[in-house]
Structure 1
Amino acid sequence: MELPPGYEPLTYLCKDYVMHLHKAVYGLKQAPRAWNITYSDSLRSLGYLPSPIEPCSFRREEYSHSHEGEKITGYTYVCLYVDDLLICASDEVLDNAKSEIMVLFSSRDLGEVKHYMGMKFDYNCWTQTLKISMPDYCRNLAQRCGLENAAPKRDPISATHGMKPGPKVFDSVSLGWYATAIGALLWPALTCHPEIAYTVSYLASANHCFTPQHLSTIKHLICYLKATPDQGITYDGCCNFIEYTFADANWGPESDGQRKSQSGYVTMLAGGAVSWGSKRQKSVALSTKVL
């Protein structure tokens, strides 16, 4: 780094002296943290509180004043990703919430969200439904991995995938390709494609010791996403807001020789999945009773 224009080199500066920078510089490793702290503190000054499980998600209680006193009438939610905000609120308070933030930071109001962080949002006011999908992301993923011309697949993983112990792949090109593909698949698996959670979890466990069968399976999964780009999660506003959670696990799979069970769960609300996961258990279950 060099001194910015306007600062003349001081004669007493030598190897025993350094300049202390009072502001974050774009591109340094400390800059993202400094920016997040600044934005988070500003949201707190407006009455927003971060979620205890997601520090980039903020909520503020909205009150109405009457002769009976203050009464909570709703909530305003703000999701922060670097400098992109997603604001959810009722029509009565939405404009005020946006104007408060735009006073503190120079911002642009892009209107009703259509695309956000690779996700596509489709609303239908007549049927009161919201669909979240990732069509562009899935197509670009296939192109990045060189599979744009590969045959499409109709399931995330083949029933006869046969991921059994075999010769490991060690060439640097395949290692880099596999790690890149796993990293790219994690995002759709976490956002709007719960059906690939098991496959991604299974493939990620072999990130540094995969076999040709793993390579074949991950290509199969990418071809599945390419063939079903418009598939996603649909939430129905007419459904009863009752939460349902389903969980299951297999027992002693022999595909990898470790016989460790795989657990999975999904939580449904308004007709769509809101939380899900798939994870290999740490211990070997001796029977289905202890799963």
Structure 2
Amino acid sequence: MGAGVWPYAGVHAASAGWGVAAALTLRAHWSVTERLRKEELLRCQGHHNTGADWAGCLDTRCSTSGYAVFLGGNLVSWSSKRQPVVSRSSAEAEYRAVANGVAEASWLRQLLAELHSPLAKSTLVYCDNVSAVYLSTNPVQHQRTKHGRSTCTSSVTGSPSAMFGFCMSRPPPSLPTSSPRLAMSEELAALDRTRTWDLVPLPSQIVPITSKWVFKIKTKSDGSIERYKARLVARGFRQTQGRDYDDTFAPVAHMATVRTLIAVAAASSWTISQMDVKHAFLHGDLHEEVYMHPPPGVDVPPGYICRLRRALYGLKQASRAWFQRFASVIYVAGFSPSDHDPSLFVHLSSRGRTMLLLYVEDMLITGDDPDHISHVKKQLSEQFQMSNLGPLSYFLGIEVSQTAKGLHTRSLARSALSDHPTAAIPMDLHLKLHPSNGTPLDDPSRYRHIVGSLVYLTVTRPDIAHAVHILTQFVSAPTSVHFGHLLRVLRYLQGTSSQCLFYARDSPLQLHAYSDSTWASDATDRRSVKGYCIFLGSSPIAWKSKKQAHVSHSNAEAELRALATTTSEIIWLRWLLADFGISCHAPTPLLCGNTGAIQIAHDPVKHELTKHIGVDASFTRSHCRQKTIDLQYVPSELQLADFFTKAQTQEHHRLHLIKLNASNPPPSP
């Protein structure tokens, strides 16, 4: 396949302006040599685009030809000109335009050779008429086209076939025309650079998979467009397990790990650097034989297909192959994976410690050894095509602001409710929703889409965690009532869009936690809701609001089950902090507002309402005895975990936000 190639849809010229364009054509021919001299070092494959406006001239019914010739990503020649004869079909008009474009491209190839920069790759010709493409590559005779072939064939096929390839390509209409073309160029260049496939004859009894182009707009933290991305994606759903793939699991970083890294770095006054790997999956090696039909834009001899060598996006095992490749490189650099989050890699030495957190292709690097961090960046850049994004500012949809006092993090929430009044709290007090409330929505997908976005927003907005937990229970069959309460959450977010979490510098690196539960609060199944919030110093790093799996006989039982869940999270975080080099020798304070649950957790009390919950009770009790946790009573007005189990009054909501270190971001410099 050709390096530097990117498909480009046909360019159509309006016949009314052909006179002006003809003058530009003369200018283009006069200046094209200078442009080629400037571009000759690119060594990119040439390509051009052709188009025709069939019978566009109302007086003569002649068509208008147009072409644009590119070298790499730069336009070097173009033309818009009325055809000398009337074409009987659109295919014929397009075919004549192709002939004109090929003639120009042939001249430019000769000119490049004279400039000592010959094109080693074939020139791709893009046309948006499939019949014209077929005529250009196959000796088809047809009543409406055979009379035109004698005048055009010499231009189209007179050069060796390896010099030109004819392709159909249409960027999606939702994106600006030029942007996906450049993105597709970069993607195809990366596929060639990493030798993603070998062209081989089609083996017998093999059914190749297919592929498609996927486009995405990558935005900056302010919502503006950073760049357009194009991905050639294999249709992995056609793969067969045991033949095309085996294991598929690949880890990604837990969001609690991300917050812990930010909290530790802020408290230790470390700089967090951000990098990402370009075309990450293309670095993963495939160990299975996977065959794929050639994608659009790739010139392939007849009878040949692509045998994949790299883990192309969309393959079942692509994520796993990439992670294994990255892990092998980072192991050589002296890093060890965390036993408690395999996406966290740690390097310890006499000079200091370095932490690297990987989330697919995005990574954060921090530590107290700047020289080693610079060395690691250099090592990674030697193995992969890296982007050094500088200090952390925008990661996984999270905006990070760094000040002398610490780090502020927030997720960017956008909604179309700017004309609606804002809400002071995300949900009504004593709200009881039922599946049968209201009338079913005609289009439930909108409800699901918004709720899904809110679930991710809870990564930095613990204040909506409980409201979102309630709304997620109705995604299968939402009603008008459910949607009304969803809009209330959006109105609350509209009024608090600037809110962020603050991670303070010099904060003590010690854990403490809050645990709470309601009792039989769900009106449908009478299950309780548990919630917890865990802090590292003054910074919240983990929280949850979730319905319990079982119906509890008493409030003490519900609270005890919540304590067991919170204890599990505390144990994991203590282990994770040990990987960061932070030892937790003292027991972690765990605050609970139910004296009965605390008593059962301390002593083997038998009671008719609690004796059946022995596992959760024994689990919590054992860690009390091992000094992993220190159970303490907290009065209701100071119980921060209430935030995650029930709706709050406006005053309590405001006080809880202060305790969560939620604030407005610092002013922009």
Classify the TM-score, shorter chain.
Answer: 0.7 to 0.9
Q: How does 1:80-119 map to 2 (within 5 A)?
A: 80-90=358-368, 91-119=370-398
Change (3 A) 1:265 1:17: closer
TM, length-normalised to structure 1: 0.81
For residues 234-285 of structure 1, the C-alpha deviation after alignment (integer angstroms, 9 at most, x for no partner) is 111233222110011111225x332211000001123120111111111122
Rounded Cα–Cα distance in structure 1 between residues aligned with 2:511 and 2:200: 65
Give the aligned partner of residue 35 of structure 1.
322
Q: How does 1:27-176 map to 2 (within 5 A)?
A: 27-61=314-348, 63-64=349-350, 73-90=351-368, 91-125=370-404, 127=405, 129-134=406-411, 137-139=412-414, 142-143=415-416, 147-167=417-437, 170-171=440-441, 173=443, 175-176=444-445
Q: How does 1:19-30 map to 2 (within 5 A)?
A: 19=291, 20-30=307-317
TM, length-normalised to structure 2: 0.37
Give the aligned partner of residue 465 of structure 2.
197
- By relative contact order (CA 8 Å, sep 6+), the higher-ranking structure is 1
Question: Which has the larger displacement, 198-207 or 26-35?
Answer: 26-35
Asked whether the 8 Å contact 1:50–1:57 carries over to 2, the reply is yes
Residue type matched to 2:422 in 1?
P
Residue type matched to 1:124 in 2?
T
Identity of aligned residues (%): 25
Rounded Cα–Cα distance in structure 1 between residues aligned with 2:341 and 2:422: 36
1:182 pairs with 2:460: no
SS of structure 2 residue aligned to 1:157: coil
SS of structure 2 residue aligned to 1:260: coil
Rounded Cα–Cα distance in structure 2 between residues aligned with 1:5 and 1:270: 51
- Give the length in aligned residue pairs: 265
Q: Any unmatched runs of 5+ in structure 1?
A: 65-72
**Shift of residue 118, structure 1, vs aligned partner:** 1.0
CA RMSD of aligned residues (A): 2.6
Question: Which has the larger displacement, 103-112 or 203-212?
Answer: 203-212
Give the aligned partner of residue 68 of structure 1.
none
**Shift of residue 115, structure 1, vs aligned partner:** 1.0
For residues 202-241 of structure 1, the C-alpha deviation after alignment (integer angstroms, 9 at most, x for no partner) is 2112221333332112221122222212212111123322
Moved over 6 A (4+): none
Question: Which has the larger displacement, 14-23 or 96-105?
Answer: 14-23
Instruction: Decide which of 533, 537, 549 is 1:270's aligned counterpart.
Output: 537
Rounded Cα–Cα distance in structure 2 between residues aligned with 1:111 and 1:132: 17
Asked whether the 8 Å contact 1:261–1:280 carries over to 2, the reply is yes
Point out the structure with the larger helix share.
2
1:239 pairs with 2:537: no
**Shift of residue 169, structure 1, vs aligned partner:** 5.2
Change (3 A) 1:162 1:213: farther
Change (3 A) 1:27 1:244: same
Rounded Cα–Cα distance in structure 1 between residues aligned with 2:376 and 2:485: 46
1:222 pairs with 2:490: yes
Instruction: Decide which of 282, 287, 290 is 2:549's aligned counterpart.
Output: 282
Question: Which has the larger displacement, 203-212 or 164-173?
Answer: 164-173
For residues 2-54 of structure 1, the C-alpha deviation after alignment (integer angstroms, 9 at most, x for no partner) is xx9984746xx444687553322234343333222212222222222333343
SS of structure 1 residue aligned to 2:389: coil
